[in-house]
Chain A
């Protein structure tokens, strides 16, 4: 019955998406879901009910990366057909929009597995509609402070969401004290991910590192981590997921930085809960491509000079501090900070002061440059962070260009042929940077 009612809705949505595209008003990643969700709320459940396995990924950082990794793994398995929402379209209208776009004209969905990244505060609102089989929580950091001042509140919302799904298995970051305790009072079977202490302690978790008990808890741990020159990492994974033992599983992760190893462990745990073989997992990581702005390398060529720009998105104190940590072992470091204060970046730049720029003090810095709307604030942050004999000259030579386009030109001038410049942009600065380099979103 409901499915028949879906047919006119699907057709209307197709028309709407076409109109949006023709008139250049967007790609229809949000509006169709918003309208249908409001006027035909039954559509969400009617579509979701057709997908046998629903997997939800939430948490502060790493939602998109974990989702993309799992998707790449499941695509290696015959008979699995994955449906996923687009990166960042993680509110209920974004998820519904994707379901509507993927539905056939007859209101049917062909997918066997739905993998949805869900914004943290949205989880309790759509948990019952999604009825996930698996829920993964990557981590819980302080995020953009003008959006969510309260990590306590976010933790509560996620716990409320999980509590609505007593049938779901839960995968959490076992080192993060906030995620490790999420299911303490809940019946959900829980699986943990973990990194060796020397890595875990570099992560600015809220509270003391959580310690797992191998006798009682089921977890996967990255036992060996080798960070390569191009910032990819080779990892060996050991542990168990319930009754399934994982032994010396070796993968290469193309996302830059050890903190993405957590996302890989989340994806592997979810894959193991879905009975995927080691071989498919390894192959999945070979096929995996990081989302744009997460380690992506763009090139600028003029004459016979070629310069590489590797983009490492920074969106909150945790990702900023961790990316600096990753870079400080690089030789002759050249960094372009691109800081905007648009709504998607956080209008309040206080978070720059919570980010540990001091981690740069033992790095081999060749030069630094600041760009974006708040380039000048970034330079002030550097002034207070840098210490030692070289600090005054380094600061003196740090150029400030409000225009990102100009900063690209100036950094290209500073660089030599073959140089790699690390670009640390906020979200909208990243979009601007990519656009200036000739990359547009599809």
Chain B
């Protein structure tokens, strides 16, 4: 059977900092390589979102003024549809500024706390005295179970898959997860969500947030495949769907080199 997926990029006109376009490139090319028809749509400032139109949402970070500008727009034109979708299990990925925005509150560059989009039960606060500067630098983390175990089972035949995520973080806000939200990974090098605990990223149903740039998905092809797989399972309502393993030699060489460099 031939599959197709639709990816909706939220606010590409406003939230497009930090190489997050690499995540879209990775999803597009990997879908092609998996033989999955791929469609990309955009929802910009002023566009109204409708439920059940997409299989994946992606949102990146932006400059302060732009992040602030999307909050009201989201609550008026997009929140109901996106919440209906995410509660139904549609995949959503937010990175860095996008991750912070997804929470109940997030931090502006000037230190002001602002209402978030409310997709994820999380708060992003101003750094305490513990964190003197931005959390900035290379970030390596190990995926937590059950996700880390599930990764190898999405392929036919199943195969061992590294459990690490690698990327680069650059944020001053400190993110704390609320009830019902679990961290994605345990930090091995760098900060992740906040400087107090050793966790990176968040998951609620199929909603994911991460501080990793780099870009996240081409650097971590297993996680990219996992999102594609989740979206297929959701769309075709078939948990038995399996992906073929792609020859990801280049990706894993870059990934391994990076892990070796910072975690020994």
Contacts and interface: CB of A to CB of B under 8 A. Distances in A.
Do A and B belong to a common assembly?
yes
A42 interface: no
6 contacts: A145-B19, A145-B213, A150-B63, A350-B18, A350-B215, A353-B22
Interface of B: 17-22, 25-26, 29, 63-65, 109, 136-138, 168, 170, 213-215, 218-219, 250-251, 253-254, 257
B17 A353 contact: no
A384 B25 contact: yes
A347 B25 contact: no
A377 B18 CA distance: 16
A145 B95 CA distance: 15
B45 to A, nearest CB: 14
Interface string A129-161: 000000000000010011001111100000000
A251 interface: no
B170 A376 contact: no
Given A145-B17, A353-B22, A353-B215, A376 B63 contact: no
A376 B254 contact: yes
A381 B26 CA distance: 10
Contacts of B26: 384
A348 B109 contact: no
Nearest to B169: A348
A383 B250 contact: yes
A146 B137 CA distance: 9
B107 to A, nearest CB: 14
Nearest 3 A-B pairs (CB), nearest first? Answer: A350-B19, A353-B22, A376-B254
A379 interface: yes
Contacts of A350: 18-20, 22, 168, 213-215
A316 to B, nearest CB: 11
B190 to A, nearest CB: 12
Interface residues of A, number: 26
A142 B22 contact: no
B218 A380 contact: yes
Given A150-B109, A152-B65, A347-B168, A145 B257 contact: no
Contact of B254 (A351, A379, A385): A379
B63 A353 contact: no
A150 B109 CA distance: 10
Interface of A: 142, 145-146, 149-153, 347-354, 376-377, 379-381, 383-385, 395, 400
B214 A348 contact: yes
Contacts of A145: 17-19, 170, 213
B19 A352 contact: yes
A251 B257 CA distance: 48
B254 A377 contact: yes
Given A145-B19, A149-B170, A384-B25, A347 B138 contact: yes
Given A151-B63, A377-B219, A380-B250, 6 more contacts: A145-B17, A145-B18, A152-B65, A350-B18, A376-B254, A400-B253
A354 B137 contact: no
Contact of A376 (B19, B214, B253): B253
Contacts of A151: 63
B17 A149 contact: yes
B218 A347 contact: no
A151 B18 CA distance: 12
A235 to B, nearest CB: 33
A353 B19 contact: yes
A432 B170 CA distance: 27
A150 B21 CA distance: 17
Given A349-B214, A350-B215, A146 B63 contact: no
A332 to B, nearest CB: 24
Contacts of B29: 384
Contacts of B214: 348-350
Most-contacted residue by chain B among A349, A350, A354 (CB, 10 A)? A350
A348 B65 CA distance: 23
B170 A351 contact: no
A151 B65 CA distance: 11
Contacts of A400: 253
Contacts of A380: 218-219, 250-251, 254
Nearest to A352: B19
Nearest to B256: A376
Contact of B218 (A152, A353, A354, A395): A353
Contacts of A348: 18-19, 168, 170, 213-214
A377 B168 CA distance: 13
Contacts of A347: 137-138, 168
Contacts of A351: 19
Contacts of B218: 353, 380-381, 384
A371 to B, nearest CB: 14
A385 B18 CA distance: 18
Nearest to A152: B63
A381 B29 CA distance: 12
A156 B253 CA distance: 42
A152 B14 CA distance: 12
Contact of A354 (B21, B63, B138, B253): B21
A385 B63 CA distance: 26
Contacts of B25: 353, 384-385
A383 B18 CA distance: 20
B257 A146 contact: no
A151 to B, nearest CB: 7
Contacts of A353: 19-22, 25, 215, 218
